[in-house]
Structures are given as structure tokens and as C-alpha cells.
Amino acid sequence: MTANNIIFRFKPIFLTACALWLSCLFMPNTGAAAEQDISLPVLDKPFTGDLPEMKQRRVIRALVVFGPTDFFFVKGRPSGLQADLLREYEKFINKGVKRETEKVRVVFVPVSFSNLIPWLQEGRGDIAAHFLTETPERQKSLLFASGRRMEVAELLVAHKDTPLPDSLEGLAGKTLKVLPGSSYLEHLRDLNRQFIEKGLPPMDIQAVDPHLSTEDILEMVNAGVISMTVVDDYKARLWAQALPDIRVSEQLAINRGGFVGWAVRKNNPELAKSLRAFSKKVRKGTLLGNMLMKRYYQNTRWIKNPAREQAREKFEQLLALFRKFGDQYGFDALALAAQGYQESELDQNRRSHRGAVGIMQLLPSTAADKNVGIMDISTEENNIHAGARYLAFLRDRYFSDPAISAEDRMAFSWAAYNAGPAKVRKMRRLAEKMGLDPNRWFGNVEIAAGKIVGRETVRYVANIYKYYTAYRYLMQARDREKDEAA
């Protein structure tokens, strides 16, 4: 039951303060001496000192957000544009320092986008290493450290069948879904105030599920699940190369002349000064800047999604079976359908090289086992039945602890379906040793999973959750269409 070959994305990360110890393992300089230099108290206690004090501690903590271009792991090694930039900054800050024991280490602290600024302000990190847009609201509490060298516009992106208005006023009364906590929300609300002053109906601005990323939203626009969104121009242009059914409107910008870059606390002017000097070295137009932008923002890989017309028709055909066995075993039918899409793209004829069969990609031996007891999985109904029963067995046998939430029981069950329950037990044990919560998948056990089995199982669970969200949006849209027709 292997994950499809889709672009890798971690779910948003929500680490406990104790888990900051983990960042020692993911430092740009991964030598044994470097790991041993940094003690746990230095990392797990709030700290708001400026660069001179950071140099005394020999640690700068960079808050990073997982994503398919900015920060991810390949064979346990941090990768992505932000990881590469931080490695370069570590070289910059240590220029001329010969002794390893005197060098400052930049450590990566994974965090969710929604916690990026709060953690910075609370002293849980020193740099918000993400392309944050400078806004008046953010400038009240942050110093932006890019030297205003990367200018962006926030562009309207729509599905190819969605009519684009001629002007921004044509957005009045329209629905847009955007990333929660983003500058897009702030600028759209400003635009809504202008609409109201002109007597126009406001836009219906909806923040999407916080587990999703900008890239996920663009996939859903491509699929027709979401009609319109707003995205930074450089990111919208990148994904327009990979997603054929989205249109990027260069004329309709919610905001122009904005600048993006890293941010630090207001009381860290020396760190901001150092980062601004570094930004001159890597700004777009320099050799290093062009190399990094080309590496991560010009090359794309194809991204599958569950809402192409053929897949949608197949989903509709199978929905009754997913509902039947979802009800029987206590699962959301859409969650089962999302797993079926991840396993086989809902194709009963799919056979894996390992001998897994059908929509739910079960081995016949697993289906015939006494814990499932379905001997023939060659039909769609029996195959979905066997997959649901096996998933319920995993959930009830291994993840029935009341301390595990319903969402995490589902995630653990998916992980066990993919990697086996024994591997998931190891993941949870390792997570606990790492200071993570063994009862939570997203942002906790999934990190340990990456160390034990690589990225397949992490990607597997993440993809299913993404498809599950897409199906929910599809059903909501269908229900609205029925209500409007009634």
C-alpha cells in the first residue's frame, strides 16, 4: 500500500516547547560535536535577547513552516528554500570564526503557520523564517529583515471555468477561500470595507481548514472544488505551470507593492541588521539568489488531485458503498473515500507489485485473516468492505485509548494501514523520547515516523487528509447547488 508519487507535504506543525530539543538533530551543521554543544535548557526556555546574547548562547532558533517548496525533509535531511537560506545565513554569521566551539548554530524549529508570529513574540524562536508580507498590523510588533528587496503582489487565482471580473469591484458578493492568518485576509477585509462604503455587497471571505497550505488551496482551485483564492504572485506563477486548470489574473491584485521576508521581534534590532546585510547576498538577481529561486520556484512536479471529472464521477458511483461501510464501522464516508483515492484512485482493477488488490489495496491474505474474514475482494463492494473492516480493527485494537482524539485515531489507523501497527508503535515510542506527544499524529508522531520509515507514511496520511478535505468541499458545493435549484 504505497503512497502515490505526489509532491511531499508535511501537515502543519504544533510542537510543545519541550520538543525544541528535536531541532538539535536537524541543525545545518550536523556533526556530533555541534549537536552536543547545545543543551536542552538553551532551547526549551523562552528567550528574547538580541544578537549579541544569541552569539553568547551560540544558538539562533529559526521558526520554519513545512511546505513542498519552503521546508521539508529528504532522507532525514532538512531541505527546501528556507532551509538552504538558513544554512547560508549560518555561514554568513560565522564568517572568520575558526573554532567550531565558538560558532553560532542556526537550528530549525518546525511550527504551524498560525503559530509562526506568536511563537516568535513569545521567545520560542528568534527568526520567523518564512516569506511573510509586511503589513501595517505586523509592523506594529515585528521588524522585517529582508531590506524590502522582494516585492510581491497578491493576485486573484480562479478555476478556468470561473468568470473573472473586469475590476476588483466585480468581486463584490463573491466567495473567496484563503489561508487563515494570512495577509490575504487582512487585505480582503480592507477591500470589503471599501465595498461597504460604496454600497456594494461584501465578499464572503472564508478561511480554509488550518491543516491545509496555499499549495493545497491551489490544487482545489485546479480541481474546481474552490472557485477563487488569493496567492502571492511568485507562488501563483509557479503552480500555474503544474496545475493546468487554474488562471492567474495579473490584472486583479488585492494588494500591490508589498514586500515579503523574514521577521524578528521589535527588540532585536541587531539581529535584524545582520539579516538585512545577509539579504543583500541572496536577493533575487544575485548568483546565489537566482540559483535558489530557480531550484525551488521554477521546477515543479505534477500534483494529482481527487476532483478531476473522471475521478469525481467514480467517487459519486462509489459513495453509497463508502457510506454503507462507513456507517457500519463508524467512519466518515468521505474519509474512507479519500483513503480509497490515495490507495488506487478508486480503481478496482489496480494491482500492486506486492499483490495488493483493488480500491483499498489490500492483500488477499490480510482480507482473509480472521480479523477481517472476507475471502473474495475482487468486487468493489467486498473490497471496500474489507478495507473498512481492517481499518476498524486497527483503530479498535491499537488506538482505543481515550487520550487519543477521534481525529488522531483516524490518522494513526491510516498510518498503521500503510506501515503496519508494529511500526506505528515504534513511532509513538520514539515520539515520546523526542519530547513529542505520542497521542497526536500531526506535528508529533509524524515527525518520528519520518525518522523510522522515511516520508512515505507521513505523505500517505497527509494526502488522505487533503483528499478528505477536498471531498468535503465537493459535497458542500453540491449541497449548495441543490438548495439553489430547489
DSSP 207-253: E--TT--HHHHHHHHHHTSS-EEEEEHHHHHHHHTT-TTEEEEEEEE
Asked whether residue 459 carries a pLDDT value surpassing 50, the answer given is yes
What angle in degrees, to the nearest 10, is found between the helix axes of 421-433 and 380-398? 40
SS3 (DSSP) at 204: strand
Asked whether residue 217 carries a pLDDT value surpassing 90, the answer given is no
pLDDT, residue 93, reads 94
Q: How far is CA 83 from CA 28, 153, 232, 290, in A?
A: 8, 24, 20, 16
Host H or E run for residue 33: helix 32-37
Q: Please, are residues 242 and 302 in contact by the beta-carbon 8 Å criterion? A: yes
Q: Where are the domains of the chain?
A: 17-149+261-297, 152-258, 309-485
Share of residues in the chain with pLDDT > 90 (%):
49
Give the highest mean pLDDT range of 60-74, 244-258, 273-287. 244-258
Record: fold of 152-258: D-Maltodextrin-Binding Protein; domain 2 (3.40.190)
Residue appearing with cell numbers 506535528? 443
Query: What pLDDT digit, counting tens, does each position of 408-448 carry?
Result: 999 999 999 999 999 999 999 998 988 889 999 987 898 88
pLDDT, residue 203, reads 96
Q: How many other CB atoms are there within 10 angstroms of residue 196's CB atom?
A: 12
Q: Which sign does the torsion angle of CA 139, 142, 143, 147 carry?
A: negative
Residues 386-399, mean pLDDT to the nearest whole number: 98
Query: What pLDDT digit, counting tens, does each position of 269-290 carry?
Result: 999 999 999 988 776 545 455 5
Mean pLDDT lowest among 170-179, 263-272, 333-342, 467-476: 467-476
Residue appearing with cell numbers 502571492? 232
Query: What pLDDT digit, counting tens, does each position of 314-359 carry?
Result: 888 899 999 999 999 999 999 999 999 999 989 999 999 999 999 9
Tell me the residue type at 183.
Answer: S
Asked whether residue 365 carries a pLDDT value surpassing 70, the answer given is yes
pLDDT, residue 2, reads 36
Concatenated DSSP letters of 412-461 = HHHHHHHH-HHHHHHHHHHHHHTT--TT-IIIIIHHHHHHHHTTHHHHHH
- 146 CB-near residues (< 8 Å, 6+ apart): 259, 260, 261, 262, 275, 276, 279
Mean pLDDT lowest among 107-116, 243-252, 313-322, 333-342: 107-116
Could you tell me how many helices (H) and strands (E) the chain has, helices first?
19, 11
pLDDT, residue 297, reads 52
pLDDT, residue 19, reads 29
pLDDT, residue 29, reads 41
pLDDT, residue 100, reads 76
pLDDT, residue 241, reads 79
pLDDT, residue 296, reads 57
pLDDT, residue 75, reads 61
pLDDT, residue 309, reads 59
Q: Do domains 17-149+261-297 and 152-258 have the same CATH topology?
A: yes
Residue 65: pLDDT band with limits 50, 70, 90: confident
Q: Please, are residues 287 and 295 in contact by the beta-carbon 8 Å criterion? A: no
Rounded CA-CA distance 297/292 in Å is: 8
pLDDT, residue 262, reads 94
Average predicted confidence (pLDDT) for the chain: 82
Record: fold of 309-485: Lysozyme (1.10.530)
pLDDT, residue 351, reads 95
C-alpha cell at 21: 530539543
SS3 (DSSP) at 296: helix
Residues 118-136, mean pLDDT to the nearest whole number: 92
Asked whether residue 76 carries a pLDDT value surpassing 70, the answer given is no
Higher pLDDT, 212 or 138: 138
pLDDT, residue 26, reads 36
Domain spanning 17-149+261-297: which superfamily? Periplasmic binding protein-like II (3.40.190.10)
Query: What pLDDT digit, counting tens, does each position of 174-214 carry?
Result: 999 998 888 999 999 999 999 999 999 999 999 887 777 78
Residues 136-145, mean pLDDT to the nearest whole number: 90
Rounded CA-CA distance 472/45 in Å is: 40
Higher pLDDT, 206 or 479: 206
Q: Please, are residues 246 and 160 in contact by the beta-carbon 8 Å criterion? A: yes
C-alpha cell at 141: 510588533
